[in-house]
């Protein structure tokens, strides 16, 4: 992938910051993660989609995304800008939490 604009150039710093936060979340056990996310995003998710959104919101909180968008992907947090995307993988407990609560 060649950078086409300033937003593309910002992928590396954005990805590194999001990855660091994802790694912090991935160290938590499911119960700890649920508690941490409840405090971090102040929501009570009831569906897989809502839990995935909470993980994403916690992972990007206070990060200047520089035009990149974040969403949940079954493998982790997907960063997207135009046609370009990158998935930052999460630990097994995060995946299990999103799938089953």
Q: pLDDT digit string (tens) for 47-69?
A: 999 999 999 999 999 999 999 99
Give the DSSP per-residue string, 62-81.
T---TT-EEEEETTEEEEEE
Q: What three-state secondary structure class fits 61?
A: coil
Q: Are 98 and 55 in contact (CB under 8 A)?
A: yes
- Where do the domains of the chain lie? 6-100
CA 54 – CA 67 distance, rounded (Å): 20
pLDDT at residue 8, rounded to an integer: 76
Q: What three-state secondary structure class fits 89?
A: strand
CA 94 – CA 78 distance, rounded (Å): 14
| pLDDT tens-digit map of 30-50 | 999 999 999 999 999 999 999
Exposure letters 16-52 (e unless 16+ CB within 10 A, then b): ebbbebbeebbebebeebbeebeebbeeebeeeeebb
89 has which bridge partners?
76
pLDDT at residue 4, rounded to an integer: 73
Taking residues 7-29, what's their average pLDDT?
93
- Please tell me the pTM assigned to this model: 0.92
């Amino acid at each position: 992938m060649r950078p086409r604009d300033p937003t593309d150039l910002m992928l590396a710093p954005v990805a590194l910051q999001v990855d660091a936060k994802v790694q912090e979340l991935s160290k938590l056990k499911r119960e700890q993660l649920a508690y941490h996310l409840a405090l971090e995003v102040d929501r009570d998710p009831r569906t897989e989609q809502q839990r995935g959104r909470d993980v994403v919101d916690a992972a990007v909180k206070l990060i200047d995304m520089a035009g990149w968008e974040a969403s949940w992907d079954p493998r982790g947090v997907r960063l997207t800008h135009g046609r370009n995307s990158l998935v930052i993988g999460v630990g097994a407990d995060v995946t299990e939490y999103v799938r089953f609560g």
